[in-house]
Amino acid sequence: MQECGPPRQRATHTIDKVSLIDFILNLACLLLWLNWRSLGADPLSKTTPATLAGTLRRAEPQRLKGWHLLTGLLLMLLLRALLYWQIGPAVNWTPKLRLVAIAISFRSDFLERMLLFSGLSFAMALAVFYLFVLLLSFASQDSADPNPLQRFLRMQLGWVGRWPTPLKLLLPLVLGTAFWLILNPVLANRSIIPSVSVKQRMEQALMIGLGSYLIWKYLIGVVLFLSLLSTYVYLGNHWFWTFVATTSRNLLAPLRWFPLRLGKVDFAPIAGMVVVFILAEFAERGLVELFERLTL
């Protein structure tokens, strides 16, 4: 049976499938990373006889080691680069990485570039995950009794989680700027992007650092929507909904002085989502225009 549809449409569907595969593999790599980070959090791995729990021991030794997970992660990044190198040219797939104001394209017929794309694609997924973790960390800090999710956030951030909120807020700008300052010469030396002066590189890095905050709009939207849902639909007394309520209340703190409540109806979550997405849209447009001017 012949495949229906025009050739261009079939090619587009194939390219979308490869991009979906890349997204799924990024999630798999992220799970390997989180499992590696979580090995030290096993309550039975570091217990002492001073408590009842300290007398508990595993019935069998733990077989999975940290280096197993890291090796599996590196192998997956390598194997998927080989996969992209094989199937990319056949389906005319050109993978891209979007950094707010710029889209970096990688030719799939060069193995070196597929290796670079594989690593950078996972690095971007990891950066997005930790940006979300960072936002949840300082937006939910009012809880006196840490729930499992907050303990997970603290474990992922480590000593950074104990930083004051102003320093946490500056972290995306600093790391995003440093990321581009390091990556730009690497990409320019391989003719993936045009070379620019040191001044232009610094300006571009600052734009990308500022643009890293825009990814927060998606998480803020999800949290505010869940808060709105739990307000008007009874979903039980699970700790997760308490966490959502606390986080939502902290995120909406700048709007607390506005009269957004009408009787028993609270419009603050809706207003918060509208404000965040409108501001993010204008900020993204401004950064794109400014980035293009700096590149000329």
Q: Is residue 162 part of a domain?
A: yes
Domain boundary (93, 122, 149) is at: 93
**Claim to verify: residue 84 and residue 138 sit in the same structural domain:** no
**Claim to verify: residue 115 and residue 19 sit in the same structural domain:** no
Q: Is residue 145 part of a domain?
A: yes
**Claim to verify: residue 65 and residue 149 sit in the same structural domain:** no
Q: Is residue 148 part of a domain?
A: yes
Block residue for tokens 């261009």 = 8
In which domain, by residue range, is 82 found? 1-93
Question: In total, how many domains does the chain have?
Answer: 2
**Claim to verify: residue 65 and residue 117 sit in the same structural domain:** no
16-26: b or e for each residue (b if 16 or more CB lie within 10 Å)?
A: eebeeebeebb
Per-residue pLDDT 10s for the chain (296 aa) are 344 445 555 556 666 788 889 999 999 999 999 999 887 665 444 444 444 444 445 555 556 678 888 999 999 999 999 999 999 898 888 999 988 778 899 999 999 999 999 999 999 999 999 999 999 998 887 555 678 888 888 889 888 888 888 899 999 999 999 999 999 999 999 889 888 888 888 988 998 999 999 999 999 999 999 999 988 887 778 889 889 999 999 999 888 888 887 777 788 899 999 999 999 999 998 888 887 776 65
pTM of the full structure: 0.85
Report residue 96: phi and psi, to 5°: -135, 150
Q: Is residue 102 part of a domain?
A: no
Domain boundary (93, 125, 144) is at: 93
Q: Is residue 98 part of a domain?
A: no
**Claim to verify: residue 115 and residue 138 sit in the same structural domain:** yes
Cβ–Cβ under 8 Å, residues 114 and 108: yes
**Claim to verify: residue 203 and residue 132 sit in the same structural domain:** yes
Block residue for tokens 């308490």 = 242
Q: Is residue 99 part of a domain?
A: no
**Claim to verify: residue 145 and residue 238 sit in the same structural domain:** yes
Beta strand ranges found along the chain (DSSP E): 96-98, 103-105, 261-262, 265-266
**Claim to verify: residue 132 and residue 75 sit in the same structural domain:** no
Q: How far is CA 131 from CA 151, 168, 179, 268, in A?
A: 17, 10, 14, 24
**CA pair distance 152, 64, nearest whole angstrom:** 20
SS3 content of the chain, % helix, strand, coil (to 5): 70, 5, 25
**Claim to verify: residue 28 and residue 128 sit in the same structural domain:** no
**Claim to verify: residue 67 and residue 117 sit in the same structural domain:** no
**Claim to verify: residue 191 and residue 276 sit in the same structural domain:** yes
Q: Is residue 235 part of a domain?
A: yes
Cβ–Cβ under 8 Å, residues 266 and 77: no
**CA pair distance 166, 138, nearest whole angstrom:** 9
**Claim to verify: residue 264 and residue 134 sit in the same structural domain:** yes
Domain boundary (25, 60, 93) is at: 93
Q: Is residue 250 part of a domain?
A: yes
**CA pair distance 271, 289, nearest whole angstrom:** 27
Cβ–Cβ under 8 Å, residues 255 and 271: yes
